[in-house]
A = this chain, B = another copy of it.
Amino acid sequence: LRTNGSLCSICADRATGKHYGAASCDGCKGFFRRSVRKNHAYTCRFSRQCVVDKDKRNQCRYCRLKKCFRAGMRKEAVQNERDRISCRREGQAAGSLSISVLLQAEASTQQFSSWTPAAHSDITAKKIALVGDVCESMKQQLLLLVEWAKRIPDFCELPVDDRVCLVIDSAPHLGGGSAYSLCWNSHDDLPVTGNDFVIPVSGPELEVSKVAARILEELVRPLRELDITDSEFACLKAIIFFAPDCPGLESPQPVRRVRFQAQVLLDEATCEQRGRFGELLLMLPPLQSVAWQMVEQLQLARLLGEASVDSLLQEMLLGEGASAAATASTAAATRASDNFTSVILPVPTGKFGSIYHFNMLNLRGAFLKFSRQADSEQYF
């Protein structure tokens, strides 16, 4: 009667209006208020994936509260005193970085991707990835990463050299299909690259399979168990990307500030679920580790001549000078990215030394050189 037919977005019972930011029933409304007021820390007796519906909503308070937050309820909307029913307006956060900026950046680069979640269903149709395919995926992801970064105002305000540094440094973690995107795309039991190959745990290439096993065990599984949300993922990506310790950074301080912002946003996005924020941040060390192993394996594969690492990627990831085939293959890379609003230009040939940078990212030199070309600034 009082509700125009809408359902509670938490338990699908009849909603009595919007409460604390989400259409909900009186039960969930009261539950949320009590939980926030008493600062309750529930624990799930199962695996934090309980079904929350009208019948079962009282069976797990942890999962019910989690769903309240995910449905959009904000704890700030719960007022403490009776006469504080004022200020009902929407308050905007202080910093320029916000969840919505990050979500939009994610969304608008998703459209460039040829791969869509809907096409995800048929695993058997996918080809098995060899080292070369992984490299190809990494290259594609790297182009997307630039697009993504450009949609974040704080990124655009950085010095151009630092922008380049950040993209390059985070390539193995984010742009590389290696870790981040693999987590995102993968099935429970099979890593899938951005270009729709699967990496089998027991495949023809032993070393690749080893990485696949680590991805599943150390990254995909914990993230599935946490059941990470889009917002959380977006924040995590920003935290990884804005790395103040990134080598070669001119002014790390602005980067540190942005990461701080992102980190606080993640904390808020986890909605007070006990321990969740920490568990999400603790994904970073294994992510870093797996990303490095990935790069290691590519290097190894290159040495053994098992794979034809694309020259552009080789230049970028391994810090080697472009080979004779560079011109042709980078031209292809440029073609392949015609539908991007910007491309990463072919890197000028040249040796960048063979010093083994510990972050395993000698690509910096290549990109820094690239970025100093006057006409390239428009791309960043």
Question: A residues near B, CB below 8 A?
Answer: 42-43, 45, 55-56, 58-62, 79-84, 90, 93, 217-218, 239, 245, 259-260, 263-264, 266-267, 274-275, 277-279, 281-282, 284-286, 288-289, 292-293, 296, 356, 358-359
Contact = CB atoms under 8 A, between A and B. Distances in A.
6 residue pairs, one from A and one from B, having the closest CB atoms: A263-B278, A293-B358, A281-B281, A58-B82, A218-B245, A61-B83
A278 B279 contact: no
Given A45-B84, A58-B79, A289-B358, A282 B264 contact: no
A217 B286 CA distance: 22
A285 to B, nearest CB: 5
A285 B285 CA distance: 5
Nearest to A44: B83
A59 B45 contact: no
Nearest to A211: B358
B263 A267 contact: no
Q: How many copies does the complex hold?
A: 2
A79 B56 CA distance: 10
A355 B93 CA distance: 50
A257 to B, nearest CB: 11
A81 B263 CA distance: 33
A90 B43 contact: yes
A224 B81 CA distance: 27
Contacts of A217: 245
9 contacts: A58-B79, A59-B80, A62-B83, A278-B281, A281-B282, A284-B284, A284-B285, A285-B285, A296-B356
A301 to B, nearest CB: 14
Contacts of A62: 83
Given A59-B82, A80-B55, A279 B296 contact: no
Contacts of A55: 80
A353 to B, nearest CB: 15
Contacts of A293: 358
A218 B277 CA distance: 23
